[in-house]
Structure 1
């Protein structure tokens, strides 16, 4: 695969690479073009990869013992996605990941990441900073779920994911917010009337 410099610059913002480093990265990233509705990970799978969303939209969700889906994350352009618990601990996946729009992804395996960390130390810094921001985001999301009203969570959602609503089903958004689709409709009507 040959990745042009602009694609590498988009994926690895603010990181400069030599020609040899670019070649090393190129052979370790695999481009995927997926149709809407494609499941790229299921609970019980071994998780070898994480994915960069070049375009499209994906969601990570969990199915509880009663069969109810809980959306954990949406991944839109310029986001990374995986079942990170399984990816980092080499346990089996507990999450599902599906495309909810046609998507172009770049996947990289944990093995290849470790090689790149040794070859290109600035990539380890890049991914560490990404993980720090993700951890902060998840912690804020947990606190919001514990302390905010459904309306406040919805307002935060539309700030975090602007322009996503027209591309995502209402039950996915409600699942992400931990509310019913009826409650979501009620909140939207309330906001529209204010």
Structure 2
């Protein structure tokens, strides 16, 4: 069950690279909500209406899709300083096609689409910051698609380790395998190959 942790909004983390006035901080404070989620908790499910983005202050979550055969496909892991949601639903005003699961106890800040829009109007420099974040996210996503099309499974795993250097010990093998698009057996074989190379 989600609870409200007693943590202050980390303005310097969420809105890094810009200086916020006390008036801006007060405006944001009224529109962002801290929540705590526990391991294995599902934040939202496929078919839910999505109106929130979540900032990860601590912990780890993942987004995944379940296909018609019941197979899971992990799209993203979200660790400290990352944002997570079902952006297909969030930006498209549609029902979720993804699940978001907590895979390590987490403290989050959630903010609705309506409140984000209000903050953008109140402070254009925040809108500029998040536009830049969105552009960078689009670039990362296209690079990942290209890598999935052209790189070997071993190369994708090495890239995963560089991207998520601190979470491998906290997540299950099948989570990693589903993110890489391989079986857990293939993941074990790749790890053995890397160990023998070293």
TM bin (shorter chain)? over 0.9
Deviation at 1:130, TM superposition (A): 1.1
Contact 2:7–2:34 (CA under 8 A) maintained in structure 1: no
Distance 2:142 2:8 in 1: 35
TM-score, normalisation: structure 2: 0.95
- Which residue is 2:168 aligned to? 165
Which of 41, 45, 49 does residue 42 from structure 1 map onto?
Answer: 45
Number of residue pairs aligned between Structure 1 and Structure 2: 193
Distance 1:131 1:85 in 2: 13
1:83 and 2:71 matched? no
- Which residue is 1:189 aligned to? 192
3-state SS of the aligned residue for 1:65? coil
1:24 and 2:27 matched? yes
Superposed CA offset, 1:30-57 (max 9, x none): 0011111111110111000000000000
1:117 and 2:120 matched? yes
3-state SS of the aligned residue for 1:163? coil
- RMSD across aligned positions (CA): 1.3
Distance 1:169 1:60 in 2: 14
Distance 2:130 2:88 in 1: 16
Structure 2: runs of 5 or more not aligned: none
- Which residue is 1:66 aligned to? 69
Deviation at 1:3, TM superposition (A): 6.8
Deviation at 1:4, TM superposition (A): 4.5
Distance 1:89 1:145 in 2: 25
Bigger mean CA deviation after superposition, 121-130 or 70-79: 121-130
3-state SS of the aligned residue for 1:100? strand
Deviation at 1:91, TM superposition (A): 0.7
Distance 1:152 1:21 in 2: 44
TM-score, normalisation: structure 1: 0.97
Contact 1:3–1:26 (CA under 8 A) maintained in structure 2: no
